[in-house]
Structure 1
Amino acid sequence: MHVPDGFINAPTSAVTAVVAAGAIAVSLRGARRELDERTAPLAGLVAAFIFAVQMLNFPVAAGTSGHLLGGALAAILVGPCTGVLCVSVVLLMQGILFADGGLTALGVNITDMAIVTTVVSYALFRALVKVLPRSRRSVTVASFVAALVSVPAAAVAFTLIYAIGGTTDVSIGKVATAMIGVHVLIGIGEAVITALTVGAVIAVRPDLVHGARGLEQRLKLRVNGELVDAPSAPAAVTPVAVRTSRRALWVSGLVTSLVLAGFVSYYASSSPDGLEKVAADHGIDRKAEQHASADSPLADYGVKDVEDARLSGGLAGVIGVGVTVVAGSAVFWTLRRRRAADDVSPASTTSVENV
């Protein structure tokens, strides 16, 4: 659903840029509360994983494909504020390096794909978790539903933005019907990917899943036909083992992202995605402009001057994952260090000096 340059007029694009900048500023402050030494590395990995999976367009209808948006996945794994930043980093890398999503439309894309999907999905996710049984399975089910709804919500948001600042005279009713219809189907794919990923992380490190915090249940034992709480077991996991487990998860996630972007992406659907199909069918793209980075060495997810399509796309995917994980990790580690600095308050320093 990357909106190119020329779909939305300049004033509306400017307003969405202000909205996006404000949301990112709020998210930077919120992410400092969400991130700690365990989740800061995971956040950078989540951004890289979203970049990789977005390269895997899957067919959803005749001549149409879809791809992960990632807002629900990021929000549930690392928190809503950090999630907005994760998707924003991905969109920024795609727009600058790969000519995917217009640069003048960056505010539109962040508002639609990062803010709307994250806010809608996480609000629905939290509501579902409160009414469902307190279990890991409930987190997975809530993830599926939240991701499913987030995609048509983004389609509605685009339709509203287009109604305000669209550059072509197209019936908004037709745009809304087409956009919501195809993105409900894409939402199913988004839901499956999100639920499988969240479920996989919960299976190995539930403590790292932001949306699963506070849902642990005491082990029950049946004694004389009645269920009673099992006695608390002594801590058997050492800090070294925890760090090793976290490192193993990070490495396996990075390797998976590299394989998806560098190899599996070659087999992705070549059909236009939902927005591209609707734009072509209804004339929304009549005033589309060439991307400012169209001459980038990585434009269109291929390495310039590499003739072999498989090798060109694979190298571009690997480079994209690498750049995204580095950029994302730098942002999130900086926020983590800022939080650590804030925790050392003047009041606590004074108390120590007075002892």
Structure 2
Amino acid sequence: MHAPDGFIDAPISAAAGLLAAGAIAVSLRGARRELDDTSSPGAAGAGAERTAPLAGLVAAFIFAVQMLNFPVAAGTSGHLLGGALAAILVGPYTGVLCVSVVLLMQAVLFADGGLTALGVNITTMAITTTLVAYALFRGLVKVLPRTRRSVTAASFVAALVSVPASAVVFTLLFAVGGTTDVSLGKVAGAMVGVHVLIGLGEAVITALTVGAVVAVRPDLVHGARGLRQKLKLRVDGELVDAPDTGAEPVPAAARSPRRVWIAGLVTSLVLAGFVSFYASADPDGLEKVAADHGIDEKAEEHATADSPLADYGVKDVEDARLSGGLAGVIGVGVTVVAGTGVFWAVRRRRTEEEAEATSPAGTSV
């Protein structure tokens, strides 16, 4: 789904870049609240220690899983976009930043997605997927029973819908700024059709990941906050809600997320460094549609096509398995460091604002 340079003309690419920049600015402010992690009793003040590293890990995990193209049709593959997964795990604002960090790393280091098309890719793959998925997810969890299974099911549906929604937005951008004269009806049909299939893969990956984290640490899942089933008592053969004793749960801040972070990082390294070698080599949905319908006639070579990590391989390493594995491991490492750094900075800014608001100098007389 990474659009290269040349698919969309300069004015629309610039407009998409401005839209992406505005969305990132808004997300930076929203992420400060999400990373504060004050919804858990006793967690106030522990937000950066808990959520900044976890948000960085989510970005690294998305990077790793995006290397795993899976077949969806004859000669076509797909890969995770990640907006739904990020939004549900760490919140919609932080989710936009997570996917944006991944897209930036891919464009700069791996020549995947054009530099002038970065705004287009952030708009379609980060903003659209995150907003559509989280809005649908929140709507579903409001009407479904508040159980862990409901969170997983809502994650599946939200992820499924977010992928064709991204394809629709790309088609709209191409309709107003495409550089080739092709039938928009055919392009729209092909894009939505193949990305519905890719959405199924996205939905499975998202539901499995969210379900796994919810099963062991629901307090670390933004979309599962407040999820707590009441204790049931059997009275005269019937199950009824136990009376509220007012007892407070164990503060989530006292439960270290270190094991989850280590497990997630190891999983990401294994996926990117080893499993990625077995990913489908077929073009992804956008590449296939572009080739079949002539969208790629004016595609431009990437500005960093000769970089040491271009095309997810380490330059001058002859063994393909080793080259790809090393590139994947480097990508995960760089992404987790960059992502964690961004989220630490965002959280630190929030702390400084709170300190200024409560200091005597900032108090009105």
Q: TM-score per shorter chain, which class?
A: over 0.9
Q: Does 1:252 align with 2:251?
A: no
Whether contact under 8 Å (1:220, 1:230) holds in the other structure is no
Q: Does 1:242 align with 2:255?
A: yes
SS state at 1:196 partner: helix
Q: How far off its partner does 1:350 sit?
A: 3.0
**Cα distance in 2 for residues equivalent to 1:205 and 1:343:** 28
Output the amino acid matched with 1:228: D
The 1:318/1:139 distance shift into structure 2, 3 A limit, reads same
For 1:336-355, list aligned pairs within 5 A: 336-346=347-357, 348-350=358-360
Runs of 4+ in 1 over 4 A off after TM superposition: 230-241
SS state at 1:344 partner: helix
- After TM superposition, the score normalised by the length of structure 1 is 0.95
**Cα distance in 1 for residues equivalent to 2:181 and 2:252:** 61
Who is 1:283 aligned against?
A: 294
Match of 2:97 among 85, 92, 117: 85
**Cα distance in 1 for residues equivalent to 2:297 and 2:362:** 67
Whether contact under 8 Å (2:219, 2:252) holds in the other structure is no
Partner deviation per Cα, 1:68-114 (whole Å, 9 max, x = no partner): 00000000000000000000000000000000000000000000000
Who is 1:316 aligned against?
A: 327
SS state at 2:359 partner: helix
Structure 2 unaligned regions, length at least 5: 37-46
Q: How far off its partner does 1:345 sit?
A: 4.0
**Cα distance in 2 for residues equivalent to 1:108 and 1:70:** 16
Match of 2:226 among 187, 207, 214: 214
Who is 2:165 aligned against?
A: 153
For 1:46-65, list aligned pairs within 5 A: 46-65=58-77
**Cα distance in 2 for residues equivalent to 1:86 and 1:225:** 49
Structure 1 unaligned regions, length at least 5: none
Who is 1:292 aligned against?
A: 303
**Cα distance in 1 for residues equivalent to 2:197 and 2:252:** 44
Q: Which moved more, 1:132-141 or 1:234-243?
A: 234-243
**Cα distance in 1 for residues equivalent to 2:84 and 2:253:** 31
Output the amino acid matched with 2:341: A
Aligned identity (percent) is 79
**Cα distance in 2 for residues equivalent to 1:240 and 1:31:** 19
Who is 2:187 aligned against?
A: 175
Match of 2:341 among 309, 330, 333: 330
Who is 1:228 aligned against?
A: 241
Q: Which moved more, 1:305-314 or 1:232-241?
A: 232-241
Q: How far off its partner does 1:219 sit?
A: 1.4
- After TM superposition, the score normalised by the length of structure 2 is 0.93
Q: Does 1:29 align with 2:38?
A: no
Q: How far off its partner does 1:241 sit?
A: 5.9
Q: How far off its partner does 1:223 sit?
A: 2.9
Output the amino acid matched with 2:123: T
